[in-house]
Amino acid sequence: MFHRIDSPAPCEDQSAAVGTARAQAWRPGIASDEVPHGEVFASGRDGTGAGLALALALDRIAASSPDPLADAPDQRMWLWVQDRDALRRTGRPYRPGLPRALRHRLIHVAAASAEDALFALEEGLRCRDLAFVIGEIAGNPKALSFTAQRRLSLAAQRHGVPLWLVRLDAARDLSSARMRWQARPAPSPHPRWNAAAPGVARWRAELFRARRHPPGEWLLHEEEGRLVQQALLRAGEATRLSNDARPAAAAR
Amino acid sequence: MPGPLPLHDSGAAPSAPFSPQPERRVLSIWLWQLAMDRWRLGEGLAEGEGADAAPLALVDETARGVRIAAANRAGLAAGAAPGMSLADARTLCPQLATAPSDPASDLAFLEKLALWAQRWGPWSALDPPDGLIVDVTGVAHLFGGEEALLADVRAALARRRLEGRLAIAPTAGAAWGLAHYGPDGAVLQPGDNAERRLGQLPVAALRLDDDVLLVLRRLGLKRLADLSGVAREALVRRFRNRRSPAANPLIRMDQLLGRVPEPMLPVIAVHAPLVQRRLMEPIRHRDLLDRVVTDLAEDMARELEGQGLGARRLELAMWKVDGEVVTRRLELAAPSRDAVHIASLFGRKLDDVDAGFGIEMVRMRSAWSENVALSQGDFEVAAEGHGTSLAAFIDRLAVRLGARAVRRPVPRASHVPERAQAWIGALEPGKTLQEAFEFHHRPLKLLDSAERIAVLYASPDGLPRRFRWRGEVHEIARVEGPERISPEWWRERSSVRLRDYYRIEDSEGRRYWIYRDGIAGDGRGGDAQGRPPDWFLQGICG
């Protein structure tokens, strides 16, 4: 189970790797029965981490209920946990700026330390009345060990509540997260009416480790609650195990 | 306690022989010596016995010196009157003894008396500081008539060594006036002409404020009959801007005669669910205490279930052998009677309890309960694996992180960005508010306090080009703005400057929300010293 980022993964990952030959490349809106425990690494100087995590959550909600008329919309609350350092670096959620479908359902937890934040995350994953959980933890605190990550993974899987953990200014340490992303900002598309103005947020998202998908890099932005893929930077052809392969080319 | 229950007086309507609604009858009890009676009860003295035989007064420390709140019979005879300063009273009666008065306990005693007084009628109300109002409509025959009812009240009060003046009338106002200023035990029959029977009472019988009484005395209106002698229009004009009943003699007069209803707040006994365990052997160990708390939580859950309630606030009190009491309080996000949940929440609060020589009694009380309907328990074993409910989750977080750490944002009517959202408890209902118009983009996150940045610009009120924030320089690639937001003059000082907001994107695609505090030449802040306006970074976009 234990694997390192910088070495070829042994045992279980090997079987996953054999699967990667047949594995599907990740794409936005992919419907998966696996309850995600995702990790998004991002800089603490911008809001890309939280932005991408929210977009991934929205994308999963949209993908899991393909027909909006088929069922009553999900109106469960969702949880956003921040430790003190993350709150100081990137600020507090701002209701008018949140996606419209989510803004009235937010429960925010301002935890004093990473331990408290992890406690809140785990309690949130055990709660059946939450739609999803987003955590934001700065740096590599001691409390966020591999064991703690594994507890979160198991809780998410057992109770079916998805989790995206945003890691601000953190090194890529050991983790049991199912999908690990590196988020960077990307220049936004030009708006239609004012080309000099900033457009919708766009991210350069690199999937550097996933259990079911080969690694890859995408330019993503959100449109009406769904992720839209702008240009495929490195497609699913990456079947090799090594992670040191550079991205093939810039956006085409 | 429910809201005020209007006491609909129908005194103005002529009483028909088969009227569906019987004429209302209200009993007023004035315990004119309540404070002294309570003092005597506390000392265990009968009237005129021991220390009560000598002149004695209960005194209050006020801003204007020590004043007399109440005096016993000997004290009143010696010249001490309530409201008088103690120094004045001592000149009249140098041997006047004093004791401190206790108005808060008097009020608590009066509340208990109000519940006790429900033996004479279905509901009773407080008439602070020293009176009670009891509705005795249709109950007099149980005592053998109203005279017998009054005799019963007097006997019951005498048994409790209380002195009261009583009156029964069709309205609370009339009963109050008769009890305070009429003959003791007066009964105003429904057929009586109230205006004539009460005409000789002083105007103070109208329950008016002191300044209004002063006005009436200066106008020469001393008795109720004088008020009906004056043309009503003149009085209406004189008191036209007095809305409160206690400041307007006309409203009081109408209430007294039953022309307008007078809402009263009834006293209702609420019994807080309470369970306790006396322990044979004082316990000193934590696991035993946990066992007791679990048992208590189960007892409490049964108690609450029987009443169809759920607890919102629980108090756990532990009596120690050395006489000390340790109390722990708990508040729940939603009413609950889940014994396991309650016990586990208290478990976290018991870590710092020092048992000392042992705990001999533990008591749990639900100080605040709300209705919870009975629900069917889970009959599937699989249902136990489905995780916790939202309320239980919030409770667990609040107990460990504090209630202020778990909140949710709600919109607030303000156009200043940091004030446009308020934080309330996670399950508290927010105010209904019209959604604001969304003409402009707002950032995903807002810094708790806007951070000052150094900005390079072409002209002081032009677009920014480059800025330095947290030690790093950002080249601005694209700008949208300004969006001008004025200060809210009804909330802020006049020196607060307007803000010009810009939504920017730097060369790497990072998006921020920055503003310039003021414009050059607005004469506020640093502008008077000729400094250019400051820039701040407030929001971070996703």
Q: Quick one: average pLDDT of B252-275?
A: 87
From chain A residues 39-68, the ones with a CB under 8 A of any chain B CB are 45-48, 50-52, 54-55
Chain A residues with CB under 8 Å of B398 CB are none
Which of B384, B395, B401 best probes binding to A when mutated, by most A CB atoms within 10 angstroms? B401
- Kindly tell me if the per-residue pLDDT of B223 is higher than 60: yes
Residue of A nearest to B400 (CA): A116
Q: Where are the domains of chain B?
A: 274-397, 445-540
By the CB < 8 Å criterion, does A158 face chain B? yes
**Residues of chain B positioned with their CB less than 8 A from the CB of A159:** 386-387
pLDDT band at B128, cuts 50/70/90?
Answer: confident
Min Cα distance B491 → chain A (Å) is 21
- Give tens-digit pLDDT for A228-246: 887 655 544 443 333 333 4
pLDDT at A203: 92
pLDDT of B386 over the 80 cut:
no
Which residue on chain B is closest to A193 by alpha carbon? Answer: B480
CB contact under 8 A, A54 and B401: no
Instruction: Tell me the HSE value of B141 on the side-chain side, using a 13 A CA sphere.
Output: 1
The rounded distance, in Å, linking the Cα atoms of B83 and A15 is 93
- Say whether residue B539 is in contact with chain A using an 8 A CB cutoff: yes
**Model confidence at B100: pLDDT above 90:** yes
ipTM at complex level: 0.82
pLDDT attached to residue A24 = 78
Probe site for chain A from B418, B474, B478 (most A CB atoms < 10 A): B478
Query: Which pLDDT belongs to residue A71?
Result: 59
Per mean pLDDT, which range of A5-19, A146-160, B90-104, B387-401 is the poorest?
A5-19
Which architecture, in CATH terms, is B274-397? Answer: 2-Layer Sandwich (3.30)
A84 in contact with chain B, both atoms CB, cutoff 8 A = no
**What Å distances lie between residue A173 and A169, A185, B312, CA to CA?**
12, 22, 43
Let me know if A156 is exposed, middle or buried by CB neighbors in 10 A (0-12, 13-18, 19+).
buried
Question: How many contacts (CB atoms, under 8 Å) link A and B?
Answer: 168
pLDDT digits (tens, 9 = 90+) for B415-471: 899 999 999 999 888 888 877 777 888 999 999 999 999 998 877 778 889 999 999
Interstrand relation of B359-371 and B274-283 (parallel, antiparallel or unpaired):
antiparallel
Kindly state the helix (H) or strand (E) to which residue B475 belongs, with its residue range. Answer: strand B472-485
Q: Which residues pair with B455 in a beta bridge?
A: B467
Distance from the first to the final alpha carbon of chain B: 48
Question: Average model confidence (pLDDT) for chain B?
Answer: 87
pLDDT digits (tens, 9 = 90+) for B131-184: 999 999 989 899 999 999 999 999 999 999 999 999 999 999 999 999 999 898
Nearest chain A Cα distance for residue B399, angstroms: 11
Per-residue DSSP letter, B526: G
| Predicted confidence pLDDT, tens digits, chain A (252 residues) | 344 344 444 444 444 444 544 567 888 877 677 778 999 999 999 999 999 999 999 988 888 765 556 556 678 899 999 999 999 999 999 999 998 889 999 999 999 999 999 999 999 999 988 999 999 999 999 999 999 999 999 999 888 899 999 999 999 999 999 899 999 999 988 888 888 999 889 999 999 998 888 898 999 988 887 888 876 555 444 433 333 334 443 333
Q: What is the nearest CA distance from A184 to chain B, expressed in angstroms?
A: 9
pTM: predicted TM-score of the whole model, two decimal places: 0.67
B residues 362-421 closer than 8 Å to A (CB): 385-390, 392-394, 396-397, 400-401, 405-411, 417, 420-421
Buried b (16+ CB within 10 A) or exposed e, A107-122: bbbbbeebbbbbbbbb
Domain A35-65+98-186+201-235 falls in which CATH fold?
A: Rossmann fold (3.40.50)
